Structure 1
Amino acid sequence: MVNGAKRVAVIGTGIMGGPMAGRLADAGFDVTAWNRTRDKADALSSRGIASASTALEAVAGAQAVVVMLSSGPVCEDVLLGGGGVLAAMKPGAALVVMSSIPVETAVLIGEKASARGLVYSDAPVSGGEKGAREGTLAIMAGGKATDVDALGDVFACLGRVTHVGPAGCGALTKLANQLIVASTICAVAEALTLAEQGGADPARVREALLGGFADSTVFRQHGLRMVTGDFRPGGPAKYQVKDTSTALAFAHSRGLRLPVGEEVDRLYQAMVDNGDGDLDHSGIILELRRMNKTAKPMACA
């Protein structure tokens, strides 16, 4: 029933949600947006997107609701809290939670949505602000296969969707993604720090490694951020540590030890504790420089 829908509400229009709302509007959807800081929703008016004063106002009459809020607790509060969004949605409408949230939260929201007769998918994304702007996000969709299929029109203008399993599996896949991303960013930061302190030009080292086995999207995009010192937030470090901590908590609940992830989580927590939580997660190289404050560059042998 959802494919062919025209009225879409976007709940959360920050770094990712704003561009995603724009993509939906450009694709011909009638989009209404709500954000806890209203000026971020108001700023989308030039894209033909209406700004609602409350989340309930945004979802009134919506055939699909796309959620891109900052965390599991915020999603629970907005969706399930007193007078929450989910209770205001009509049976047959779709709820698509694209936030990075704990697996348990995704499952709980899915159970509540199913009881209300809603189409549901926990469908977090990867690809950053660039992917959100360009509609090239990797979308990891949990839920019933029929529900994911029913959301095809919504997903099509945002990126490439893969159904990964029942409700909660989208959130789980995103945690796996975040472990890979965070660990790789830290490895890139360590490599460039080594090059810098050894007397090589980090920018030239990065250039030399492009196309080799060390190359990756993370290396290209975040390595460039590191060598240019551009730490404007695409993915803030405070959200990175939120995700690594969530992944570790889930792993520990299954009796698993993830030693690399544990060290990466400690590094990002130190970065946040040192006041850099609002910087891009590629700013982890600044934490390495703090740790190695006595190291001095030396000429290559």
Structure 2
Amino acid sequence: MSKIGFIGLGIMGRPMAGHLLDAGHELTTVKRGSLDETLASKGMKELDNPKAVAEGAEVVITMVPDTPDVEEVLFGEGGVIEGLKPGTLVIDMSSIAPLATQEFAKRIHDAGGEYVDAPVSGGEGGAINAALTIMVGATQEGFERANPLLEIMGKTITHIGGHGAGQTCKVANQIVVALTIEAVSEGLLFASKAGADVSKVRESLLGGLAQSKILDVHGQRMIDRTFDPGFKIKLHQKDLNLALEGARSLDLALPGTANAQQLFQACAANGGADWDHAGILRALERLADHEVGSR
């Protein structure tokens, strides 16, 4: 069993860390307020800073919101790199900028460690059920070392390529997810405004070419109007910013992505930054002056 430092115990990180504890690994984290009771009962310990976590770990996993957060954890004062031992495996499972990831990988490598970028898709449900899709950027050696741990947390693990490739795949994933959520919102809004029973419309669509996990899960969220976050709009905005910044550097037009970002921004401007990303429906409902399911 491995000694693992796990930094980032949010909506996703908590259940992911729990699965590693259940598998018999020893976990430490950085003290941030009160430690989750379930994790504490399973033996997770708290230390003062990322340096201390790294000093006692063979593997360090980060699961934090954005690129600057990863940089601070790894390279800030009292950061992981200050406690890094030769051969330590650093796995970043956050969703961050691919170019920054390549730089972080070089700095960890130069300090004697092995770096793996392994962002995830599947939301809170995927994390709880250990059914995440994990997109990996790493050397072959790094992937082989990380894979047994990733298999504890995920169901579909793919070695995409070298450092940064996992993050590139995650950006592509977030483009597809955002546009599909928007498409489901527009379809259900159209059906509702036209007077159809949206529950039966969704049921029918699930049997045809429009079928998708998003129509299944988020379509039901929209009908039930349950927008408590599995994945917050403000985090999806961050991911689409990465997509649009990357597109500019590649001289690439992503008009659908830009439109989805504007709808997310409309939600945020109306107090919805912390809604689930299925809440993009609410921006469209405001434009239509109609709520899905209303008569």
The 5 A counterparts of 1:244-283 are 244-283=240-279
CA RMSD of aligned residues (A): 1.8
**Aligned match of 1:138:** 133
Matched, 1:171 2:145: no
The residue type equivalent to 2:34 in the other structure is D
Contact persistence 1:14–1:40 (CA under 8 A) = no
**1:195/1:43 CA distance change after superposition, 3 Å:** same
Cα deviation digits, residues 72-95 of structure 1 (max 9, x gap): 011111111123112311110100
**Aligned match of 2:229:** 233
Q: Which moved more, 1:149-158 or 1:275-284?
A: 149-158
The residue type equivalent to 2:234 in the other structure is K
Q: How many Å separate the matches in 2 of 1:291 and 1:202? A: 19
**Aligned match of 1:112:** 107
**Aligned match of 1:214:** 210
Contact persistence 1:225–1:231 (CA under 8 A) = yes
Q: Secondary structure at the match of 1:66?
A: strand
Aligned-residue sequence identity (percent) comes to 38
The 5 A counterparts of 1:13-32 are 13-32=9-28
Equivalent of 1:88 in 62, 74, 83: 83
Question: How many pairs were matched up?
Answer: 294
**Aligned match of 1:201:** 197
Contact persistence 1:13–1:34 (CA under 8 A) = no
Matched, 1:291 2:273: no
Q: How many Å separate the matches in 2 of 1:26 and 1:141? A: 23
Cα deviation digits, residues 118-155 of structure 1 (max 9, x gap): 11101101111111111111110001111111112211
Q: Which runs of 5+ in 1 are unaligned?
A: none
**Aligned match of 1:49:** 44
Q: How many Å separate the matches in 2 of 1:15 and 1:266? A: 25
Shift of 1:34: 2.8
Shift of 1:103: 0.8
Q: Secondary structure at the match of 1:151?
A: helix
**1:294/1:133 CA distance change after superposition, 3 Å:** closer
Q: Secondary structure at the match of 1:120?
A: strand
Contact persistence 1:27–1:157 (CA under 8 A) = yes
**Aligned match of 1:123:** 118
Instruction: Please report the TM-score for the alignment, with normalisation by the length of structure 1.
Output: 0.93
Q: Which runs of 5+ in 2 are unaligned?
A: none
Q: Which moved more, 1:5-14 or 1:45-54?
A: 45-54
Q: How many Å separate the matches in 2 of 1:38 and 1:121? A: 28
Shift of 1:16: 0.5
**1:296/1:53 CA distance change after superposition, 3 Å:** closer
Shift of 1:288: 1.0
Q: How many Å separate the matches in 2 of 1:82 and 1:48? A: 27
Q: Secondary structure at the match of 2:270?
A: helix
Matched, 1:39 2:56: no
Cα deviation digits, residues 170-193 of structure 1 (max 9, x gap): 110000000000110011011111
Shift of 1:54: 2.5
Shift of 1:51: 2.8
Q: How many Å separate the matches in 2 of 1:57 and 1:64? A: 13
Q: How many Å separate the matches in 2 of 1:298 and 1:129? A: 29
Shift of 1:114: 0.7
Q: Secondary structure at the match of 1:284?
A: helix
Q: How many Å separate the matches in 1 of 2:293 and 2:160? A: 47
**1:40/1:269 CA distance change after superposition, 3 Å:** farther
**Aligned match of 1:79:** 74
Contact persistence 1:41–1:51 (CA under 8 A) = no
Q: Secondary structure at the match of 1:215?
A: coil
Contact persistence 2:109–2:115 (CA under 8 A) = yes
Q: How many Å separate the matches in 2 of 1:268 and 1:96? A: 30
Contact persistence 2:5–2:53 (CA under 8 A) = yes
Contact persistence 2:189–2:292 (CA under 8 A) = no
